[in-house]
Chains A and B, each alone.
Chain A
Amino acid sequence: MSEEVAPHTHFQYADATHQSDTAVAGMWLFLASEVLFFGGLIIAWMFCRHWQPAGFDAGGRETVLWIGTLNLFLLITSSFVYSSGLAFMEAGNIRRLVQCCVVTMAIGTLFLLLKFYEWHIDLSENLFPAGPFKITGTDAGGARMFWSFYFVATVLHALHMIIGVGLVGWVAVQARRGAFDDGWYTPVEVVGLYWSFVDIVWIVLYPVIYLVGRG
């Protein structure tokens, strides 16, 4: 006699909750590895600024503060919107979930467009650390190190954002196709964890890139 299982539950799990808990735990494990990945960047920032504080801060003062600040508020808002979508999903309101996903994607895309614009400004002002560089004199070495950190950190974050926008779009498409219901929406939760983590990374990068060097 075969036991009746939920349609989304795979054979190796005792029940749907076991499967969902495993997926959520797996995502947290991945995010823990991401913490260490971005931790390396923070080490680079701490180490370089410790040895070249004046040059590093001189580099930081050249960043486009208004774009970084606007992007911070955009990403915080996007986490709020996606989390609201998850709450709607829990209540079985798929239409609202899709709408929240679309708004989240729009905010994420706006973030990326602003980031591309900011890179355009940076490059046009000769702030790329290789080649002719805007800052000269004794601060040039530290400033070049800052801008190396800046480009590595922001490009890595933007890559995560692009993946995140794609994942949120995938959730929206799947939800529209009726793949989720109020009894099974684990992918919505897992993608939400990833999206909020990318938000956290920007929350941490914002002061070290835009604020510490000023004042």
Chain B
Amino acid sequence: MRKRHRLNLLLLLVLFCIAALEFGVSLPPVPAATRPILALPAAIMAVLVALGYMRLLDAPAIARGFAMAGIFWLAILLGLAMTDPLTRTIYAVTRQIGS
């Protein structure tokens, strides 16, 4: 039990540090196009919570499979949804008077 409590506490401190880092790196000016990278620490924190507090590695194999399937389908969902905006070419519209 003591080992579990120590792990929980260590994870809490690590999560606090990453959250503070995430907040800190958001303060300096960064180009708008690259700012979504600020979600990267959040992704790391989400993985740590799943592995630590949700004990994913200790879960039954089928539960780990469900978790992986969730991530897999999320990647498919986000990837397919963004193919349109990321690949669409925007052409300037010219106004033709008298046509």
Residue positions of A touching B, CB distance < 8 A? 21, 24-25, 27-29, 31-33, 35-36, 39-40, 42-43, 46-47, 49-51, 53-54, 57, 69, 72-73, 76-77, 79-80, 82-84, 87-88, 90-91, 192-193, 196-197, 199-200, 203-204, 206-208, 211-215
CB <8 Å contact, B74 and A87: no
- Give the total of B residues in contact with A, Cβ under 8 Å: 51
Q: Are A214 and B26 in contact (CB under 8 A)?
A: yes
Flag if B12 contacts A80 (CB, 8 Å): yes
Selected from A28, A39, A79, A214, the residue in CB contact (under 8 A) with B49 is A79
- Which residue of the partner chain A has the closest CB to B36? A212
A207-B42, A215-B29, A215-B35 known; A36+B73 contact, CB < 8 A: yes
- Cβ–Cβ < 8 Å partners of A69 in chain B: 23
Residues of B contacting A: mostly:
helix
Contact B66 A32 (CB under 8 A): yes
Quick one: CB contact mask for B9-44 with A, threshold 8 Å, 1 for yes?
Answer: 101100110010011001111101101101101110
Q: Let me know if B39 and A192 touch, CB within 8 A.
A: no
**B5:A72 contact, CB within 8 angstroms:** no
Residue of B nearest to A89 (CB): B1
In contact, B78 and A87 (Cβ under 8 angstroms): no
Interface residues of B (CB under 8 A from A): 1, 4-5, 8-9, 11-12, 15-16, 19, 22-23, 26-30, 32-33, 35-36, 38-39, 41-43, 45-46, 49-50, 52-54, 59-60, 62-64, 66-67, 69-71, 73-74, 77-78, 81-82, 85-86
**Which of A28, A42, A79, A207 is the one whose CB lies under 8 Å from B59?**
A28
A199 to chain B, nearest CB (A): 6
In the complex, the chain B residue whose C-beta lies closest to that of A30 is B66
* B77 contacts A36, C-beta separation under 8 Å: yes
Q: Given known contacts A35-B70, A36-B70, is B53 in contact with A83 (CB within 8 Å)?
A: yes
Contact status of A54 and B67, CB under 8 A, knowing A203-B42, A203-B46, A207-B22: no
- Decide yes or no: A39 and B77 within 8 Å by CB, A54-B32, A87-B8, A200-B49 being known contacts: yes
Question: Do the beta carbons of A24 and B73 come within 8 Å of each other?
Answer: no
Q: How far is the CA of A193 from the CA of B58 in the complex (A)?
A: 13
Nearest B residue to A93, CB-CB: B1
B41 engages A207 (CB within 8 Å):
yes
Cβ–Cβ contact B33 & A51, under 8 A: no
